[in-house]
């Protein structure tokens, strides 16, 4: 079976992670405060040594009419759309409308848009494929920039340069595996753009049968071109991102990835094909088919030694439904949209899981997904 056919069976039309505007970022250190049981005994929650993702809503105010005119003049007449529903651009299929919506297809367009919104202090949000986020039912008051910057270039010595908007899963893995280059094939089945992969330090378990360690995308990152917080385009190396589990420096700086150069190694085509097939089968057994059960991926952050999903399951919440959202019956750390779910449905299940696990088991569950817009 060709790589094209193998991957197309599992193709997801949406993407993975997102870039968030600096003025709306709300990440911080996880709380180290213990919780109490019914007798007052203090219970030590699981600790994490790195910063969290956004765990509070990204809220904006009503956009002024002048912003629409300013955006159209700067980015091109007809290029900036108004009142665009965001649900179709997320893997959750949930979310209200954005006041303005722009899709840059080149690095130049992306840089121009970002410099404009920064200079004019326009509320903005940079979207990849729309996974790992929940957009509020009230939508987003400002400009949503959906990154469509593409392009894959094969360089010398196994290096590959890809635009930040390239789909890791459908485009980059297919292109590199077809040329016998390994390193990115571990992440097959995970919806993500290149920019999102850097943002979140994309990861998956090492190949079977052992699956003894976590494989991180940082292991194959050579360098990247970014737009810095100061508006400068510059090239940085892998160390710049200070990667951690589900973390990069991009959580705490408004830098934006423009393109990434990966350093890959030659690997037999049959070996790559086998790993791809096995990883897809492994995910299919545990994760929802996004065509049938839209979701944002893992809802809660990893807890060392005790899986967040296992805690939710121990409390008997697997399969629990609120409105049109459900704690997935196969994986309790995933919430799925049964059809017509609202952001409030999802937040109700998140709150239920947090309160129940805290009360019954003494652990604090902290959201891994980002909350964006008006709820």
Distances (CA, A) of 315 to 160, 319, 362: 46, 11, 11
Classified as helix, coil or strand, 279 is helix
Identify whether the C-beta of residue 298 lies closer than 8 Å to the C-beta of residue 202: no
> Please, what sign has the CA dihedral across residues 280, 292, 217, 303?
negative
Residue 129 · residue 91 · CB < 8 Å: yes
Distances (CA, A) of 226 to 164, 229, 257, 361: 10, 9, 4, 43
Q: In this structure, what are the phi and psi dihedrals at residue 93, rounded to the nearest 5 degrees?
A: 55, 40
In the prediction, which pLDDT does 21 show?
35
CATH of segment(s) 3-13+150-275? 3.30.465.10
Ranges for all domains in the chain classified under CATH 3.30.465.10: 3-13+150-275
Please state whether beta strands 152-154 and 181-182 pair in parallel, antiparallel, or not at all (unpaired).
unpaired
| CA atoms of 45 and 42, how far apart (whole Å) | 9
The whole-number pLDDT of residue 61 equals 52
Q: Where are the alpha helices (H) located in 146-189, listed in sequence order?
A: 173-178
d(C-alpha 217, C-alpha 273), whole Å: 19
Cβ within 8 Å of residue 305, ≥6 positions away? 46
β-strand partners of 374:
139
A 10 A CB-CB count for 131 gives 25
The arrangement of strands across the sheet holding 152-154 comes to: 152-154, 159-163, 256-263, 221-227, 233-237
Measured distance CA(159)–CA(181) in Å, rounded: 9
> Start-end ranges of CATH 3.30.43.10 in the chain?
19-32+51-146
3-state secondary structure at position 247: strand
What span, in angstroms and rounded, lies between the C-alpha atoms of 187 and 87?
Answer: 24
Strand duo 140-146 + 124-127: pairing: parallel
Cα–Cα–Cα angle for 338, 20, 346, rounded to 5 degrees: 20
pTM as predicted: 0.81
Report the pLDDT value the prediction gives residue 63, as an integer from 0 to 100: 54
> For the chain, what percentages of helix, strand and coil (3-state, to nearest 5) are there?
30, 25, 45
Q: What is the CATH class of 19-32+51-146?
A: alpha beta
63, 71, 123, 146, 196 from 143: Cα distances, Å: 9, 9, 6, 10, 19
Beta carbons of 165 and 147 less than 8 angstroms apart: yes
Three-state secondary structure call for residue 94 = coil
Backbone angles phi, psi at 215, to 5 degrees: -100, 125
Residue 237 CA, distance from chain mean position: 22
Which residues lie closer than 8 Å to 351 by C-beta, 6 or more apart? none
For residue 299, which of 371, 359, 360, 361 has the smallest C-alpha distance? 371
- Structure token pair of residue 51: 């910063």
In tens digits, what is the pLDDT along the chain, a chain of 375 residues?
444 434 432 333 333 333 333 333 322 223 333 333 333 333 333 333 222 233 344 555 555 678 999 999 999 989 999 999 999 999 999 999 999 999 999 999 999 999 999 999 999 999 999 999 999 999 999 999 999 999 999 999 999 999 999 999 889 999 999 999 999 999 999 999 999 999 999 998 876 666 778 899 999 999 999 999 999 999 999 999 999 999 999 999 999 999 999 999 999 999 999 999 998 998 888 899 888 999 999 999 989 888 999 999 999 999 999 999 999 999 999 999 999 999 999 999 999 999 999 999 999 999 999 999 999
């Amino acid at each position: 079976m060709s790589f094209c056919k193998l991957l197309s069976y599992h193709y997801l039309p949406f993407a993975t992670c997102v870039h968030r505007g600096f003025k709306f970022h709300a990440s911080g250190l996880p709380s180290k405060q213990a919780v109490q049981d019914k007798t007052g005994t203090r219970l030590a929650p699981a600790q994490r040594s790195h910063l969290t993702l956004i765990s509070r809503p990204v809220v904006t105010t009503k956009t002024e009419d002048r912003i629409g005119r300013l955006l159209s003049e700067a980015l091109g007449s007809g290029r900036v759309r108004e009142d665009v529903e965001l649900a179709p651009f997320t893997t959750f299929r949930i979310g209200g409308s954005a006041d303005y919506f722009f899709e840059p297809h080149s690095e130049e367009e992306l840089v121009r848009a970002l410099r404009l919104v920064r200079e004019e202090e326009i509320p903005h949000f940079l979207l990849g494929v729309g996974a790992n986020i929940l957009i509020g039912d009230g939508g987003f008051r400002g400009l949503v920039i959906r990154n469509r910057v593409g392009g894959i270039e094969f360089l010398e010595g196994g290096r590959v340069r890809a635009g930040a908007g390239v789909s890791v899963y459908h485009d980059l893995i297919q292109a590199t595996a077809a040329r016998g280059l390994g390193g990115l094939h571990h992440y097959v089945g995970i919806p993500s753009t290149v920019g999102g992969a850097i943002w979140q330090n994309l990861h998956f378990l090492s190949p079977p049968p052992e699956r003894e360690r976590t494989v991180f995308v940082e292991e194959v990152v050579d360098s990247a071109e970014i737009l810095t917080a100061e508006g400068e385009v510059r090239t940085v190396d892998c160390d710049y991102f200070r990667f951690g589990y589900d973390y990069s420096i991009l959580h705490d700086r408004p830098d934006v990835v423009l393109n990434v150069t990966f350093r890959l190694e030659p690997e037999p085509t049959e070996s790559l094909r086998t790993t791809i097939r096995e990883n897809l089968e492994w995910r299919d057994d545990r994760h929802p088919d996004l065509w049938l059960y839209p979701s944002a991926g893992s809802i809660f952050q990893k807890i060392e030694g005790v899986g967040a999903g296992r805690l939710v399951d121990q409390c008997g919440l697997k399969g629990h439904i609120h409105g049109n959202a459900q704690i997935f019956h196969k994986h309790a750390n995933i919430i799925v949209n049964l059809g017509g779910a609202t952001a409030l449905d999802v937040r109700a299940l998140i709150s239920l899981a947090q309160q129940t696990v805290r009360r019954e088991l003494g652990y604090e569950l902290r959201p891994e997904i980002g909350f964006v817009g008006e709820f």
